[in-house]
Amino acid sequence: MATSIILADDHPVVRRGMQALLERERDLSIVGVAADGLETIRLVEQLKPDVLVLDLMMPGLSGLEALRILRESSPRTRIVILSMHSSSAFIAQALRNGSIGYVLKNST
What is the residue range of 41's domain? 3-104
Write the CATH number for 93: 3.40.50.2300
Number of domains the chain is built from? 1
Q: What is the pLDDT of residues 41-87, one digit of tens each?
A: 999 999 999 999 999 999 989 999 999 999 999 999 999 999 999 99
pLDDT per residue as tens digits for the range 19-53: 999 999 999 999 999 999 999 999 999 999 999 99
List the beta strands (DSSP E) in 1-108: 3-8, 28-34, 51-55, 78-83, 101-104
Give the DSSP letter of residue 2: P
d(CA 91, CA 2): 28
- Is residue 108 predicted with pLDDT exceeding 90? no
> What integer pLDDT is reported at residue 43 of this predicted model?
97
Answer for the pair 79, 66: CB distance below 8 angstroms, yes or no: no
